[in-house]
Amino acid sequence: MMNLDLPKLFDLDKMSREPKFKNSFYQQDILSVDQFNRESLSYIFTRAQEMSEMVNKVGSCDLLHGYTLACVFYEPSTRTSASFIAAMERLGGNVIPITQGIKYSSVSKGESLVDTMITLEQYSDAIVLRHPEIGSVAKAAKYSRVPIINAGDGAGEHPTQALLDLFTIRKELGSIDGLRIAMVGDLRNGRTVHSLTKLLMSYDVSLRFVSPDTLRLPLNLMNDLIDKGVDVRETDKVEDVIGDVDVLYVTRIQKERFTDLADYEAVKDYFEITPEVMANAKEKMVVMHPLPRVGEIHYKVDKDPRAAYFRQVQNGMFVRMALLAAVLGQA
């Protein structure tokens, strides 16, 4: 190594990057909603509320100045990727976005997931990862030195979506205990449904599952609900539940998870939430959807004050700001 007698650039004795808050998420991978309990959820939601107030007042701050997040998406995304990027930038941090199609990264040259992660951790303080295989994000986390946040692993989990879903329910309806919540659509393949269902097991709620027979909630989840004594019912008709639910959580039929396209065609137009359907819903209730929608909710419903899906989108940014700041020890 060359040793020129140069004046020092940095006064390192005066510089540090200590965690401000050692909460239970500090430096933790966020892989599943199983890592959360009511107490830690309240922590994140309180912080998310603070984030929303900060954004509404001044737009951004420098809480995560000096931190870099890599966002790596092996599957399409609009909201999850954009909201993580927006979250990081509104907190004054930087982003390495590998979201414009993995085809432009070395993954298209055959690089393994593990090598890609080990590469990105050399540049970043945390990694957000979406991948089509169940369990792949957990596997990547085993090899990564920096925390990895699961942004969806195939039909497995989507923990940060469930956090923002729950935050939205609480914000819209005041509390979660005592609510009757219906999930509609592709309950078999919808990872947002899986994560939200698991989270809701910590609350005193009644659950209704509405889907065609082939797309019912996975049996292991249903058994867990029954073991916990949750009031659950299944049906294949929205009409059976619309009149007495507080939350109608609508999801897309997950075309990309079908091996036989004929099976998808058979169920793709299975239901649509229209103003006529909404006419039978309670006055105080909300319609939610993780989005994208592909025909499950008619555009005319958007004007209904009970349509909460775009407010839900914005909440996603606030919740991800809270989570990123917590993982990096700054909230």
Stretch that binds ligand NCD, among 25-33, 118-126, 251-259, 266-274 (CB under 6 A): 251-259
Q: Pick from 79, 268, 282, 298: which binds ligand NCD (CB under 6 A)?
A: 79
Sheet-wide strand order for 148-153:
94-98, 68-73, 126-131, 148-153
In the set 47, 80, 188, 197, the catalytic residue is 80
Per CB under 6 A, does 315 bind ligand NCD? no
CB 313 to ligand NCD: min, Å: 8
Per CB under 6 A, does 320 bind ligand NCD? no
List the x/- string, 147-166, binding to ligand NCD by CB under 6 A. -----x-----x--x-----
Q: Is 276 helix (H, G, I), strand (E, B) or coil?
A: helix
Q: Residue 315: in which H helix or E strand, if any?
A: helix 309-327
Residues of 46-80 as b/e, b for ≥16 C-beta within 10 angstroms? ebbbebbebbeeeeebebbeebbbbbbbbbebebb
> Is the CB of 174 or the CB of 292 nearer to ligand NCD?
292
Per CB under 6 A, does 252 bind ligand NCD? yes
Q: How far apart are CA 319 and CA 299, in angstroms?
A: 26
CB 116 to ligand NCD: min, Å: 20
In the set 47, 90, 99, 130, the catalytic residue is 130
Find residue 286's DSSP bridge partners. 247
Q: Is 253 helix (H, G, I), strand (E, B) or coil?
A: coil
158 is catalytic: yes
Q: Is 320 helix (H, G, I), strand (E, B) or coil?
A: helix
CB 164 to ligand NCD: min, Å: 9
- Residue 216: DSSP 8-state: P
Per CB under 6 A, does 194 bind ligand NCD? no
CB 34 to ligand NCD: min, Å: 18
91-110 positions binding ligand NCD, by CB under 6 A: none
> Is the CB of 252 or the CB of 320 nearer to ligand NCD?
252
Q: What is the token pair recorded at 137? A: 């994000």
Q: Pick from 147, 156, 159, 290: which binds ligand NCD (CB under 6 A)?
A: 290
194 is catalytic: no
145 is catalytic: no
Per CB under 6 A, does 191 bind ligand NCD? yes
List the x/- string, 37-76, binding to ligand NCD by CB under 6 A. ----------------------------------------
> Is the CB of 92 or the CB of 97 nearer to ligand NCD?
97
CB 16 to ligand NCD: min, Å: 36
Which DSSP string corresponds to 71-133?
EEESS--SHHHHHHHHHHHHTT-EEEEE-S-GGGSGGGGT--HHHHHHHHHTT-SEEEEEESS
Q: Is 70 helix (H, G, I), strand (E, B) or coil?
A: strand
In the set 158, 191, 252, 293, the catalytic residue is 158
Q: How far apart are CA 308 and CA 266, in angstroms?
A: 29
Dihedral (CA of 181, 43, 82, 80) sign: negative
Residues that bind ligand NCD (CB under 6 A): 79-80, 152, 158, 161, 191-192, 251-252, 254, 290-291
Active-site annotation, residues: 79-80, 109, 130, 158
